[in-house]
Amino acid sequence: MPGISRGQENTESIINWFITVSGVLTDAYSVGFRILDITGGLPGTQVFPTTGYEEVVGSSGNFSVGSYYAYDVSEAAGWTPTLTQSIGTHRVEWRWKISSGAEYQASYEDFEVLVQSAGSSTDTYISIDDVHDAGIPTEANDGPTDLQILTQIEIWQAFLDRACRQWFIPKALTFRVDGTDSTMLSFGVPIISIDYVKLNDSTEELEEKYYKVYSGSTYPDKRRNPKIKLIEDQVRDIYSFGSWVSSLKFRRGVQNQEIKGVFGFVEEDGTVPKLIQRALLKLVVEKLTNPVVPGSGPDAMPPPPPIMAGLIEEWTDGHKLKYSQTISTKKYGLSGMTRDQEVLDIIRLYRAPIGIATPSHPSIN
């Protein structure tokens, strides 16, 4: 599935369409497209153009014979998702007719709108308005500025990602990983979609029929064990047993496997999990309402780890006190970053396992 980031201009190789007649690329009399936001389900909401279809015949959107791409004619540039465009699955619907008297034909393709590749404030899991809705007053009502709120959102979102060892928005990435001499590659973050697999330093993309991607949140939830499994390309039987033993493997090597795709722990519709949004919102509100030093403002650094917790023993005459470990240190290793048990439980629910390397074995050639 193609992917395009917010603020990224579409090119001829991302969202495009080709028209052939008897197998030959042919220019059509009329070709138009429209973009639908289907993150909330079908039929979706049209986001470009405002109404109707954007006609690209006669513009740079017709970049070669029979070849078209999503092009914004008024801006004289490839269609570009706005910085506030919904993250997740969208649909481009194409319609065309070969001649003026012909009937329109139509088809569509789904694609992903991703966060900016360089990261920005629009990548956040919650908004400034969400924080105000939770009870934090606006600057006009003696509350923090929007910049101060945004700073706290970004700080504590980074903390959540680090504590959970994964992220919760779609990110387009290209990995180069070591081969393990096995038929499987495991990943530390869920797979949303795979664009290609290049096996064993090959410059050619492996045909999709030769591998299976374990992705998706439907039962069984594969986000907890994301992996790519190679599928044997030869028939196994008693007559050809010796011919298939080493046909398809992620051969042992250093960064000799290349995988490009979209990754992230997201819900089925591509959105941030609600519990993660809740945990981030509670952290931000907690830090805004409880600064480190009274009057120090919401930009203050987080407090140092507590050195004591609940009192479990006291000698009234000998003046001896005994404290337990803090809950966060004892159970979660978060060193007192928060005492909110709900937030700590959400982190535990979404914490990815520590990656363990698969031992490799010499190849049988």
pLDDT digits (tens, 9 = 90+) for 61-116: 999 999 999 999 999 999 999 877 887 889 999 999 999 999 999 999 999 887 65
pTM for the structure as a whole? 0.57
User: Which residues, 6+ apart, have CB-to-CB distance to 107 below 8 Å?
Assistant: 17, 93, 94
Taking Cα atoms as reference points, which of 295, 273, 13 lies closest to residue 142? 295
Residue 66 lies in a domain: yes
Q: How many distinct structural domains can be found in the chain?
A: 3
Specify whether 311 is located in the same domain as 256.
no
Torsion of CA 153, 158, 159, 160, to 10 degrees: 90
214 and 197 Cβ atoms separated by less than 8 Å: no
Q: What confidence category does residue 124 fall into, taking pLDDT thresholds of 50, 70 and 90?
A: confident
175, 257: one domain: yes
pLDDT tens track for 178-219: 888 888 888 888 998 898 999 999 998 998 888 999 987 777
Q: Give pLDDT tens digits for 15-28.
A: 999 999 999 999 99
364 domain residue, yes or no: no
The helix (H) or strand (E) run that includes residue 283 is helix 274-289
106 shares its domain with 181: no
The domain that holds 44 is classified in CATH as: 2.60.40.1930
Burial of 42 from C-beta contacts in 10 A (0-12 / 13-18 / 19+): exposed
Q: 88: phi > 0 → left, psi -120 to 50 → alpha, else beta; which?
A: left
Q: Which domain holds residue 322?
A: 304-336
Q: What is the β-pairing status of strands 105-114 and 3-5?
A: parallel
What's the pLDDT score for residue 310? Answer: 57
